[in-house]
Amino acid sequence: MTVPDGEGSGTWMRPYTVTNGRTHPTTALQLISMVRTTGRVPPERLGGEHARALQLCHFPTSVAEVAAHLRQPVAITKVLLSDLIDSGAVTTRAPSATAHSTDLLEKVLDGLRQRL
């Protein structure tokens, strides 16, 4: 599987090259985990996909939404977001244990549809 290297660049790269071959995130993230920038790390200090992911997280954004906008597999997106969490660039909030999972998934789906 190959993915586009940026919008309209015309070049393709394998997903694992985005994460330097890493396939496991250092932070446990769910599809509906919310991530948001901390403002401590400017995108200019980051490279490529990390900067793009950071720019998507100015408002609380689900892992699924970030993956969709980056056009990356979820596993790759989780590694990228874990890197950002480790660097202090973003924070994460796990879904509430008291919330009904179907309702949350519907909200995530609605959010994805609105952005398309």
| Domain range summary for the chain, segments of one domain joined by + | 3-115
What's the rounded mean pLDDT across residues 5-23?
Answer: 63
- Are 10 and 17 within 8 A, CB to CB? no
Q: What is the pLDDT of residues 51-85, one digit of tens each?
A: 999 999 999 999 999 999 999 889 999 999 999 99
Helix (H) or strand (E) segment spanning residue 37: strand 34-37
pLDDT at 109 over 90: no
The alpha carbon of residue 39 and the mean position of all alpha carbons in its chain are separated, in whole angstroms, by 16
Q: With 0.95 as the threshold, say if the pTM is over it.
A: no
Mean of all residue pLDDT scores within the chain: 81
pLDDT at 11 over 60: no
Least confident of 6-10, 29-33, 97-101: 6-10
**Percentage with pLDDT > 70 across the chain:** 78
What are the contacts of 70-75 at 24+ separation with CB within 8 A? 71/3, 71/4, 72/3, 72/15, 72/18, 73/1, 73/3, 73/15, 74/31, 75/15, 75/23
pLDDT at site 106: 79
With a CB cutoff of 8 Å and minimum separation 6, the contacts of 52 are 6, 69, 70
pLDDT at site 89: 95
What's the rounded mean pLDDT across residues 38-51?
Answer: 89
Cα 69 to Cα 88: distance, rounded to the nearest angstrom: 22
